[in-house]
Structure 1
Amino acid sequence: MPATPPSTPFADELREAVAAGFPLAVADLSRLVRIPSVSWDGFDPEQVEASAEAVRALAADTGVFEDIDIVQVPIGEGSKLGLPAIIATRAARNGRPTILLYAHHDVQPPGEDEHWDSVPFEPTLRGDRLYGRGAADDKAGVMTHIAAIRSLVAVAGDDLDVGLVLFIEGEEEFGSRSLPEILRRYRDRIASDVIVVADSGNWDLDTPALTIALRGAVAFNLRITTLAHASHSGMMGGAVPDAPMAAIELLATLWKKDGSVAVEGLTSHDEETPKYGETKLREESGLLDAVSPIGKGAILSRLWYQPSITVTGMDIPNIRNASNTLVPSVRVRISARVAPGQTAQEAFDAIEAHLMGHVPFGAEISIEDLDMGNPFLVDSSGWAAADALETMGEAWDTEGVEIGAGGSIPFIADLVDMFPEAQILITGVEDPDSRAHSPNESLHLPTLRRAILSEALLLSRLNARSGE
């Protein structure tokens, strides 16, 4: 096992380098945010390609990588290509370890402009927060890696011996569908001793965190059909069930009266959680004063270690186009989170069985566009996690903590399967008010600066490591 350096080399010099390079990092981040790199079907894939090219140029400008490629591979066994990822590599020297730095340059759809206080893809500074889709999730992760490398290069110069792999994915927000094939094809190039996934968050604005638990994800479209064609709601209503009625009846069976899931076969994970009260939940979620929280047990257990089911979209005539009509078919998007300890396939099987067993009125239902990702518990007992927590403490002047996350990063299980000896570190620049995936997504710029410094300090430690 690599020997632990007595302290972080060049700590003071790195602080100065990060501070000097921070304005450029924010400017580069703003340029990335202006590219609407939505990876979902129905959006322009050329924008994701433009984003990939911009990231490739940033990697090239660091001057440290020996090889930089934009890669696209087929999704599964089909011929359709996934969206472009960037792989940049530099071989380790003099017995130093290799570290893989992961982030993703694709983003979620912005939603409706009227729900934003500024234009989604025009980075807007208000106070110490930068607003824009992707500003936090996860183009800030991209810039954390780029800026940390720049700072280390400025300080270490010719003494840069740590191996570097920069892996920036282009379809994380759309299920990482081609990622397993990327890992298979480029395994030798991206094999590393330490993997840093900069796609999570921190406890709060003042407290850095390593994420050690992630829920898995199951998402699919559910179609409910009751009629062969639309009919006049006045003439047939009251005798003929329409699809919205059947959908409401069916969806309501997914939850108990307290809001916890009612699907037999979904399991929870038993783990202690830090103190986190209802007041903080309301502050961070925007829960209205008159609305009660749902679920049972400790709040963080509900968020980190219990399953949840959410309806995230519905295809149904909007009010402007509503007519006095019985709607024959509707489609809903269901997003479920899977507790650690259960596979996504097991969770999907339980949800599917529940839906099939609770169909009202004899309606027809079908499931389409299934995406799954397994939950994960991180082994944080290795030297890399200890180094990461220590460098977080140096950068924040506050001890780092270990947290769980209700969100999912499904590909981490793929990384562990492919590189079982690698130590996984899940970091990030988000905070409870970043509102990732939501309107008015934003990044707290002082947090970005600390995240860059923390990673630069970690890279410096690895650059000083050698075999015992």
Structure 2
Amino acid sequence: MTSQSPRHEAVHAAAADAVPAALADLGALVRIPSIAFPGFDRAQVQRSAEAVKALAEGTGMFDRVEIRDAAIDGGPERGMPAVLATRAARNGRPTILLYAHHDVQPVGDESLWESTPFEPTVRGGRLYGRGAADDKAGVMVHIGALRALRAVLGDDIDLGVALFIEGEEEAGSRSFSQFLSDNADALRADVIVVADSGNWDAKTPAVTVSLRGNARFTLTVRTLEHASHSGMFGGAVPDAMMATVKLLATLWDDDGAVAVEGLATRDAATPDYSEETLRDEAGLPEQVTPIGRDSILSRIWNKPSITVTGIDAPSVVNASNTLTPEVKVVVSARVAPGQNARDAYEAIAAHLRARAPFGAELSFTDVDFGDGFLVDTSGWAVQDARVAMEAGYGVAPVDLGVGGSIPFVADLVREFPEAQILVTGVEDPHARAHSPNESLHLDTFRNALAAEALLLERLDARAL
């Protein structure tokens, strides 16, 4: 790396000093069960928003800090509370929008957690707790970086900053598009940092350059008007479970690769990534073989995948000798970057309709989709981010594709087409976001905070 200015070095040191307080505040946020899904306590999401608002106010950076929400689909229902803070740019400097979300996933089966989900616990260099990585760590990287910048520059900051901490990302960002429209002037920026992705590993930062899209729906398979005795009619009458199993099996070929005509694949090179690494990061036992063909990362980054994520059918404890009349399943597809998610859904639905066994009746409900994203890496903001990451981590960043989806990024592109969008994150491959024992690698957090503080310092010195 090239030698850095005294101001740069001071910000780097201030970022290191900011880590203990940032981790303490992260622990306080983790203690708030801010689950935005239906059926959970909205008051906890409001409590989390108020805590984030206080943190934003405490930076001393902003002209205005507010908690706002927006309508869902133009109706009377309101989305979950978000925090919006703004300060205007001065002297021809750019404006940066910092995004993260303060809502979290449900804990699932609490017996699978090694420590209490909403009690932050440090062990083995990691902070455990729901939301510790996804994405309250993203919130605190923003707050910590702003604190570090202000600690060095005081009031002598020309950079414009908008802070947008969403409250319903895990629940589908149902009011996101309307929120952008309602607050477009406050959110408009030259650079947008979405701190909700991951890194190559615990030591190596990454700039996310592609995201798969998603298409999700509930499929109902019906074969009978009512349940019937399996001994009296089994062997002559197809039940819904048999039809569902046969139908779903047509979605994949014998290698486990998706076998749906009309789903696209992106042609792009991928870095080396061994099967051993896959097994370690995914928890794949030796006796279980990976699925798909071609390089492992091409399967994850550039090809479609289909997963059955839920099923409504008689449970084991309620099993009886009965032919089931109806089965419901949730089908979740990841769509290759560059393909329209609606088109992908239509291809999957057409595939299933054409293969419905025994004349089974199919219906499709709760359809939801979001487009993928390809980053334009030619802009100055990406170059500044790479320099800041290398300085913050001490390791040059890599370009990363992500098999997961952040559908709202497409909304940001649509609403702010001139903005340069950077997708970054604090997670490492062992973070287990959305799973039991979610955790944050503490050294990764320290480096991510430093990298963002250094990016802010670079942008504060950049005249447009």
TM-score normalised to the size of structure 2? Answer: 0.97
Please say if 1:347 is aligned against 2:313: no
Secondary structure, counterpart of 1:462 in structure 2: helix
The range that moved more, 21-30 or 98-107, is: 21-30
Task: Give the letter aligned to residue 263 of structure 1.
Answer: V
Task: Give the letter aligned to residue 264 of structure 1.
Answer: E
Task: Give the letter aligned to residue 427 of structure 1.
Answer: T
Q: CA deviation at 1:343?
A: 0.4
Counterpart in the other structure of 2:28: 31
Task: Give the letter aligned to residue 349 of structure 1.
Answer: E
Counterpart in the other structure of 2:377: 380
Contact 1:8 1:457 (8 Å CA) reproduced: no
Residue of 82, 105, 122 corresponding to 1:85: 82
Distance 1:38 1:109, change over 3 A: same
How far apart, CA to CA, are the structure 1 residues paired with 2:360 and 2:41? 36
Please say if 1:450 is aligned against 2:447: yes
Task: Give the letter aligned to residue 39 of structure 2.
Answer: G
Please say if 1:71 is aligned against 2:68: yes
How far apart, CA to CA, are the structure 2 residues paired with 1:8 and 1:176? 41
Task: Give the letter aligned to residue 69 of structure 2.
Answer: Q
Cα shift readout 1:13-47 (whole Å, capped 9, x = no counterpart) = 22332222212111111111122222222322222
How far apart, CA to CA, are the structure 1 residues paired with 2:99 and 2:5? 22
Counterpart in the other structure of 2:400: 403
Counterpart in the other structure of 2:13: 16
Structure 2 matches for 1:240-389, cutoff 5 A?
240-389=237-386
Q: CA deviation at 1:54?
A: 1.4
Cα shift readout 1:338-388 (whole Å, capped 9, x = no counterpart) = 001210011011011111111112222211211111011000111111111
How far apart, CA to CA, are the structure 2 residues paired with 1:194 and 1:9? 25
Structure 2 matches for 1:92-171, cutoff 5 A?
92-171=89-168
Q: CA deviation at 1:95?
A: 1.2
The range that moved more, 190-199 or 82-91, is: 82-91
Secondary structure, counterpart of 1:426 in structure 2: strand
Task: Give the letter aligned to residue 45 of structure 1.
Answer: R
How far apart, CA to CA, are the structure 1 residues paired with 2:416 and 2:398? 25
Task: Give the letter aligned to residue 457 of structure 1.
Answer: L
The range that moved more, 60-69 or 251-260, is: 60-69
Secondary structure, counterpart of 1:159 in structure 2: coil
Counterpart in the other structure of 1:60: 57
How far apart, CA to CA, are the structure 2 residues paired with 1:155 and 1:161? 13
Task: Give the letter aligned to residue 60 of structure 1.
Answer: E
Q: CA deviation at 1:432?
A: 0.8
Contact 1:9 1:460 (8 Å CA) reproduced: no
Aligned-residue CA RMSD (Å): 1.5
Task: Give the letter aligned to residue 92 of structure 2.
Answer: G
Secondary structure, counterpart of 2:210 in structure 1: strand
Distance 1:446 1:107, change over 3 A: same
Cα shift readout 1:260-287 (whole Å, capped 9, x = no counterpart) = 1111100100001111121111111111
Cα shift readout 1:53-80 (whole Å, capped 9, x = no counterpart) = 2111111111211111212111123222
Task: Give the letter aligned to residue 304 of structure 1.
Answer: W
Task: Give the letter aligned to residue 56 of structure 1.
Answer: K
How far apart, CA to CA, are the structure 2 residues paired with 1:168 and 1:77? 21
Task: Give the letter aligned to residue 154 of structure 1.
Answer: A
How far apart, CA to CA, are the structure 2 residues paired with 1:16 and 1:401? 24
How far apart, CA to CA, are the structure 2 residues paired with 1:102 and 1:163? 14
How far apart, CA to CA, are the structure 2 residues paired with 1:326 and 1:120? 40
Cα shift readout 1:78-130 (whole Å, capped 9, x = no counterpart) = 22212121111011111111000001111122211122222222211112101
Contact 1:212 1:380 (8 Å CA) reproduced: yes
How far apart, CA to CA, are the structure 2 residues paired with 1:79 and 1:52? 21
How far apart, CA to CA, are the structure 2 residues paired with 1:24 and 1:169? 22
Counterpart in the other structure of 2:220: 223
How far apart, CA to CA, are the structure 2 residues paired with 1:101 and 1:131? 24
Secondary structure, counterpart of 1:166 in structure 2: strand
How far apart, CA to CA, are the structure 2 residues paired with 1:320 and 1:123? 35
Counterpart in the other structure of 2:45: 48
Task: Give the letter aligned to residue 463 of structure 1.
Answer: D
Distance 1:238 1:345, change over 3 A: same
How far apart, CA to CA, are the structure 1 residues paired with 2:27 and 2:335? 34
- Identity, in percent, stands at 61
The number of aligned residues is: 463
Secondary structure, counterpart of 2:170 in structure 1: helix
Q: CA deviation at 1:6?
A: 9.3
Residue of 438, 441, 445 corresponding to 2:438: 441
The range that moved more, 329-338 or 263-272, is: 329-338
Secondary structure, counterpart of 1:321 in structure 2: coil
Please say if 1:193 is aligned against 2:185: no
Q: CA deviation at 1:237?
A: 2.5
How far apart, CA to CA, are the structure 2 residues paired with 1:301 and 1:107? 29
Distance 1:228 1:156, change over 3 A: same
Task: Give the letter aligned to residue 355 of structure 2.
Answer: H
Task: Give the letter aligned to residue 283 of structure 2.
Answer: G
Secondary structure, counterpart of 1:387 in structure 2: helix
Secondary structure, counterpart of 1:379 in structure 2: coil
How far apart, CA to CA, are the structure 1 residues paired with 2:161 and 2:218? 39
Q: CA deviation at 1:9?
A: 5.9
Secondary structure, counterpart of 1:47 in structure 2: helix
Secondary structure, counterpart of 1:107 in structure 2: coil
Counterpart in the other structure of 2:421: 424
Cα shift readout 1:413-452 (whole Å, capped 9, x = no counterpart) = 1111111111111110111111111111110011001000
Q: CA deviation at 1:228?
A: 2.5
Structure 2 residue runs of 5 or longer lacking an equivalent are: none
Task: Give the letter aligned to residue 146 of structure 1.
Answer: I
